[in-house]
Chains A and B, each alone.
Chain A
């Protein structure tokens, strides 16, 4: 069989897996929705969760699509499509593919036409993400029990403990924003964008309080994310013109 990374066969195989994962999302959605109803939760608020999550996802999803395009030069569309819709994130998938190509003495600079090399890359990308899928079913329940133990012993501390966990993650990614500062003014661009987006978030809060526009608050994160991304364009242009 003549190998082609964009063959109908590849699309079918990948399509089946993506459909399976889509089905999983739908099943979990329905289960949680029903549970919310049973618990007598405010269904209007849950609808807002759906709306704001969907809007928030749009920009990152297009960024992921860019990742598919970037990897498609070497690997065709189906494999990157699978790996970036399911499990992966661009940093991981691109690195894994490059490392695998490198291991068999080739690179991602050109299209992979040898099915053996393609298979090596597909295996390495698949095996690299095994831990999460194995460890969640093994330890998920134990981790949860640990957290609920902390909470049942001292509910106030339990809440603070979780806040500490979130803030640990958020501060690691906020720190990351400063990683390019050593490059000079252009390295400050992400820092400026971060502040721009933070200011937009604060503005959303003010508008909501002063003009009593409730929906602004629900959509504050997607608005600030998109606004920050949009502002990054003039910010970058301004910095570039200053640097010359």
Chain B
């Protein structure tokens, strides 16, 4: 038990240094552009731009931290929040890997599997994009060919269809209520598509609420 605490703690320590350094480097990029080109943009312009995205993006950012940290685990969170593409890549990858390896999220084995999955996914993504940028003239015509467009447009349905089968069938009693609510919501208010990040915790609250009732009644 003591060992477990010390491993987690060391990941936290290391993670904080890496994540804050990454933040500093990301902010250094626009700063470097300003200095190198001696181009100091109007602060009002930046504020105006921020004003139109911050209300939604910062809200989603806060929500993401509270919903995805428990799923990704310690190391996975410090890495996943830096490398991004959480909902469409890192979270499904981590959940699937833990499920296949038969380890529970929140345990130290789960922690190891989730971190390895997210690190692998981050490395592969970075390499593919880097190679893609280098070989763009050869790759772009294929990627942008009209015949392939449906495949890229349907990546989320293909991903969550497969992931859904695994997790919904495992806990279908918990899954029914949030599924019905979410599908009804999107059928009635299609414009919510842009706010799916905000709906994740809504779905989670419904699922956890229903699970609590079923659990208390000994139905799970």
Contact = CB atoms under 8 A, between A and B. Distances in A.
A108 interface: no
Contacts of B111: 32, 35
Interface in A1-50: 1, 3, 9-10, 13-14, 16-18, 20-22, 24-29, 31-33, 35-36, 39, 41, 45-46, 48-50
Interface residues of A, number: 152
B129 A65 contact: yes
A41 B109 contact: yes
A178 B156 CA distance: 12
Contacts of B115: 28-29, 31-32
Contacts of B19: 133, 136-137
A107 interface: no
Contacts of A53: 93, 97, 116-118, 120-121, 124
A56 B93 contact: yes
A225 B159 contact: yes
A143 B117 CA distance: 21
Contact of A56 (B77, B121, B150, B157): B121
A80 B116 CA distance: 26
Interface string A126-161: 111111111111011101100110010000111111
A85 B78 CA distance: 16
Contacts of A29: 115-116, 119-120, 123
A221 interface: yes
A109 interface: no
B150 A119 contact: no
Nearest to A136: B81
Given A49-B101, A160-B211, A166-B95, A61 B182 contact: no
B52 A103 contact: yes
B208 A165 contact: yes
Contacts of A61: 89, 124-125, 128-129
13 contacts: A49-B116, A57-B93, A85-B129, A89-B87, A114-B39, A133-B81, A140-B78, A164-B204, A167-B168, A174-B179, A224-B158, A227-B158, A228-B161
